[in-house]
């Protein structure tokens, strides 16, 4: 059982664990990690009809892309390098684990869904809830909920983000690797439950 209150940063402050953070379309987290050749991201998220969620980054459409976008209509887009594809029939109304990496493979709940190949010359910091669009703006997310985001380089966790409320009750993500809080880099406020 996961405690609802824990104190990783000393006393005070106390953090309150919540089940997820949700976005209304303008919120996102900049993880501060720039993907390399041996990078993987495992995001546990859900979306409902009329919303979508994106994670990753790109230089431009099918130019140095590394992102996923899923919507509440059962579609997931996976873009890798200069190739992108859409895959249908996925139910994201409940939380599912989506794993994708620089090996060009996309897994949903441990099942290989797609495999792409591409080359990269430019990388941008990895965003969750929306994707990093050429380091100038974020696009692609109009909702969705994230309950965990694990980023790895060479098999080693570099981020293990879980949703929390800080000591002032502000929703953010707590990184269990660095013991840091990651706040909304966009506008508005995350919702949570």
Instruction: Please indicate, yes or no, whether the overall pTM of this predicted structure exceeds 0.85.
Output: yes
Considering the four listed CATH numbers 2.60.120.200, 3.40.50.620, 1.25.40.10, 3.30.450.40, the one that applies to the domain covering 26-162 is 2.60.120.200
27 neighbors 184 (Cβ within 8 angstroms): yes
Residues 143-163, mean pLDDT to the nearest whole number:
96
- The predicted model gives 53-60 an average pLDDT of 91
Q: How confident is the model at residue 179 (pLDDT cuts 50, 70, 90)?
A: very high
Compute the residue count for the chain.
193
Angstrom CA distances, 181 to 29, 145, 162, 164, 167, stand at 10, 18, 10, 9, 11
Domain map (residue ranges) of the chain: 26-162
Other CB atoms within 10 A of residue 121 CB: 8
Distance CA 92, CA 74 (A): 7
- Lowest-confidence range among 3-7, 97-101, 118-122? 3-7
């Amino acid at each position: 059982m996961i405690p609802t209150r824990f104190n990783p940063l000393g006393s005070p402050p106390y953090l309150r664990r919540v089940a997820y953070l949700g976005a209304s379309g303008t919120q996102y987290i900049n993880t501060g990690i720039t993907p390399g050749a041996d990078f993987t991201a495992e995001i546990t998220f859900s979306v409902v009809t009329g919303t979508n969620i994106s994670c990753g980054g790109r230089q431009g459409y099918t130019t140095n892309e590394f992102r996923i976008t899923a919507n509440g209509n059962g579609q997931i887009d996976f873009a890798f390098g200069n190739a992108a594809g859409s895959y249908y029939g996925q139910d994201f109304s409940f939380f599912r684990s989506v794993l994708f990496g620089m090996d060009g493979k996309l897994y949903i709940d441990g099942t290989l869904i797609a495999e792409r190949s591409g080359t990269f010359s430019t990388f941008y910091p990895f965003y969750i809830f929306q994707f990093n669009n050429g380091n100038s703006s974020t696009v692609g997310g109009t909702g969705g909920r994230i309950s965990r985001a694990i980023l790895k380089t060479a098999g080693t966790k570099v981020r293990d983000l879980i949703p929390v409320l800080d000591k002032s009750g502000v929703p953010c993500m707590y990184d269990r690797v660095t013991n840091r809080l990651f706040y909304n880099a966009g506008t508005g406020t995350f919702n949570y439950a």
